[in-house]
Amino acid sequence: MPSARKSVNLLATLLTTACVAQVGSARVVRAQAAAEPVAMQAGSARVARDTVTRTAPRWHFDQCMGGLTYGAPFKFALAYGMGYVRESETTDWCFLGAAKVGLGGASFNVGLANSLGHWGSGTAVTAGILRTFDNPLGALAKRTYVGGSVHLWPLLALGGEVGYYVPLGRDAQGERGKGMVTWSAGFGF
């Protein structure tokens, strides 16, 4: 155990020395590149040079969401969404396409998601198509539906969704007006 402690102390000393050397060399390079001596770099002139220039948020293609949920009609399901993301310091926006596959069905949705702050909270509104499998939870088996959902995850990516879907196709003639309420709760990011 004493040799492990010595190794940790040695490693900490080396890291501290490397960090101090890095900062010191950065000051030397900055001083060599500056027109006036380092001693004259004071106040707002130095602060202005040292601040990072912020660029305006841009849209880029990236992952918007993913997670593991339980609910109707999917039972246990995995969800994954990608789209055009606009990240900023306060909120992130994403125009997304999301797939969800579970034991009771599968769906593909498109929509708009908004994350709020840095605590994993956010909202989304999606619309899409859903197909149930042999044994869905609270729905007719082997049917195709269209509808929409509202998603809410209030904190640390824990949340859920509630949606309403109506049946499609010739199988749905006797089922007109008989929509299905979908729901799920789970963990997402």
Q: For the chain, what are the domain ranges?
A: 2-50, 59-188
- Burial 76-100, CB ≥16 within 10 A → b, else e: ebebbbbbebeeeeeebbbebbbeb
Cis peptide before 73, with omega less than 30 degrees from 0?
A: yes
Q: Rg for the chain (alpha carbons), in Å?
A: 27
Residue 112 to residue 115: CA distance in whole angstroms: 10
Tell me the CB-side half-sphere exposure of residue 112, using CA atoms within 13 A.
Answer: 3
Burial class (CB in 10 A: 0-12, 13-18, 19+), 4: exposed
- pLDDT, tens only, 50-62: 444 456 678 999 9
pTM assigned to the model: 0.66
The pLDDT, as a whole number, for residue 56 is 66
Averaged over 126-132, what is the pLDDT?
A: 97
Mean pLDDT of the chain: 76
